[in-house]
């Protein structure tokens, strides 16, 4: 084979679908270009305002007397309040789903808990009647007592299974694809390719529609009516998406230390910008719509628990990493996992006037283990 023959064979006829791929890609590149034109103007116009607002908010939260009082009060109080050496009871109703190194656990209000089996990660069905878990190539629906309801085995590794609020659909990732299966384990099908390693998020839908958001590898977030496969809207392609979170009225897209809040129509409502280098370790919307997140400062090695209610307000600050943050179903308590301290912290809402701590968390969810052990993660607090 001569060089010329090889050239000809490599540059042969169009690859099937080449023209369509060009048109699809052009639409996305064009959109990125349009965003490039718009964003700098917006940034320039609003940057001084945003910077001033952030400075004011941080100062208000951390320096002003009321803000400092809350933080200092909690700092001093930690360790002085009654601390439980193990999980004796949850301060609010509902069931806690906990992912440990050896599988998910369901913890009850009275402190009793049960391991569901050797699964990698789990999440609740909307009313807490089932848990969907993944293990290797299996998607498994379980009863909260561990009984297997059904199992779907795929050719490749699966992860990030999430049950739709309607109860009728489950989305999960398989490799770099996003798939959907009906809640009874039937009708499994592909929804999207080239998705990022971020869990999909279902939109809260009182009408029972099945609308999901997922991130693709180019940093675009797509919002899709799953049953019709119709894309309702999408964001521009940008920095890698790290977390997707719906509230009753908005979608929060985290890209590292920057959060963009969109309304249900895809209009950008608000931008949350952490200090440079800071990262969000956990975030949740409380039932009343308030956003809480943990803001980790890698240089200072401290984490702030922040309430975002128009402006950021630090409600707790601790050394090391405070990661997961979840609200109790009634919104009266916020549970934060203090990974560095091997503790759970329950903060009483809304005024943070009380708190409870539970210590030795790793040992409680990894009994009998030796050597280095991973901290358990909170997968959800469901359904009083």
Partner 1 sequence: MPASGRDERAWVRGAQAGSASDLEALFRSHWPRAYRAAYLVVQDRAAAEDIAQEAFISAVRALGSFDRRRPFGPWLHRIVVNRAIDWTRARSLRREVGEEPLAGAAAPAENPARPLSPGVVSALADLSPDHRAVIVLRYLLEYTPGEIAKLLDLPRGTVNSRLRRGLDTLQGRLEEER
The site for partner 1 (CB under 8 A) is made up of: 1, 3, 6-18, 21-22, 24-26, 28-30, 32-34, 36-37, 154-157, 174-177, 190, 193-194, 217-218, 237
Q: Please, which residue, 33 or 46, has the CB nearer to partner 1?
A: 33
Q: Please, which residue, 218 or 273, has the CB nearer to partner 1?
A: 218
In whole angstroms, the minimum distance from the beta carbon of 221 to partner 1 comes to 15
Q: Please, which residue, 173 or 317, has the CB nearer to partner 1?
A: 173
In whole angstroms, the minimum distance from the beta carbon of 194 to partner 1 comes to 5
In whole angstroms, the minimum distance from the beta carbon of 42 to partner 1 comes to 16
CA atoms within 13 A on the CB side of 329: 17
Residue of 333, 283, 212 lying closest to 272 (CA atoms) = 283
Residue of 12, 102, 96, 175 lying closest to 383 (CA atoms) = 96
Spatial separation of the C-alpha atoms in residues 179 and 161, rounded to whole Å: 9
Q: Please, which residue, 21 or 112, has the CB nearer to partner 1?
A: 21
Q: Please, which residue, 25 or 148, has the CB nearer to partner 1?
A: 25
In whole angstroms, the minimum distance from the beta carbon of 244 to partner 1 comes to 19
Strand partners, 343: 338, 359
The rounded radius of gyration (Å) of the Cα atoms in the chain is 23
Q: Please, which residue, 91 or 175, has the CB nearer to partner 1?
A: 175
Spatial separation of the C-alpha atoms in residues 194 and 184, rounded to whole Å: 26
In whole angstroms, the minimum distance from the beta carbon of 137 to partner 1 comes to 10
* Secondary structure E strands in 144-289: 148-153, 158-163, 169-174, 177-182, 189-192, 201-202, 211-215, 221-225, 230-234, 243-246, 250-255, 258-263, 268-273, 279-285
In whole angstroms, the minimum distance from the beta carbon of 302 to partner 1 comes to 33
Q: Please, which residue, 9 or 44, has the CB nearer to partner 1?
A: 9
Angle formed by the axes of helices 18-62 and 65-77, to 10°? Answer: 90
In whole angstroms, the minimum distance from the beta carbon of 268 to partner 1 comes to 19
Spatial separation of the C-alpha atoms in residues 268 and 54, rounded to whole Å: 18
Q: If DSSP codes are grouped into helix, strand and coil, which group holds residue 112?
A: coil
């Amino acid at each position: 084979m001569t060089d010329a023959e090889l050239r000809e064979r490599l540059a042969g006829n169009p690859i099937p679908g080449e023209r369509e791929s060009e048109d699809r890609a052009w639409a996305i590149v064009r959109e990125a270009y349009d965003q490039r034109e718009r964003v700098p103007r917006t940034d320039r116009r609003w940057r001084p305002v945003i910077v001033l607002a952030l400075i004011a908010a941080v100062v208000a939260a951390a320096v002003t007397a009321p803000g400092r009082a809350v933080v200092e009060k909690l700092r001093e109080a930690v360790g002085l309040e009654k601390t439980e050496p193990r999980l004796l009871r949850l301060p609010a109703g509902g069931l806690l789903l906990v992912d440990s190194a050896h599988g998910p656990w369901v913890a009850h209000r009275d402190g009793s808990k049960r391991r569901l089996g050797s699964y990698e990660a789990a999440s609740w069905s909307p009313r807490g009647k089932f848990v969907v878990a993944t293990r290797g190539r299996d998607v498994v629906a379980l009863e909260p007592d561990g009984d297997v309801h059904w199992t779907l085995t795929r050719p490749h590794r699966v992860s990030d299974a999430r049950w739709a609020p309607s109860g009728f659909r489950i989305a999960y990732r398989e490799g770099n694809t996003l798939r959907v299966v009906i809640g009874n384990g039937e009708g499994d099908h592909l929804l999207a390719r080239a998705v990022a390693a971020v869990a999909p998020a279902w939109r809260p839908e009182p009408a029972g529609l099945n609308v999901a958001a997922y991130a693709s590898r180019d940093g675009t977030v797509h919002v899709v009516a799953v049953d019709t496969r119709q894309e309702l809207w999408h964001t521009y392609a940008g920095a890698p998406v790290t977390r997707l979170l719906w509230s009753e009225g908005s979608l929060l897209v985290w890209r590292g230390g920057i959060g963009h809040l969109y309304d249900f129509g895809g209009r950008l409502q608000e931008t949350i910008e952490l200090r440079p280098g800071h990262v969000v370790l956990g975030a949740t919307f409380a039932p009343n719509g308030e956003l809480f997140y943990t803001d980790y400062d890698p240089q200072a090695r401290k984490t702030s628990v922040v309430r975002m209610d128009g402006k950021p307000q630090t409600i707790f600050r601790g050394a090391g990493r405070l990661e997961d943050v979840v609200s109790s179903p009634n919104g009266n308590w916020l549970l934060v996992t203090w990974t560095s301290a091997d503790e759970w912290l329950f903060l009483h809402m809304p005024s943070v006037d009380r708190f409870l701590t539970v210590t030795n968390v790793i040992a409680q969810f990894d009994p009998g283990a030796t050597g280095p052990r991973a901290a358990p993660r909170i997968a959800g607090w469901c359904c009083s």
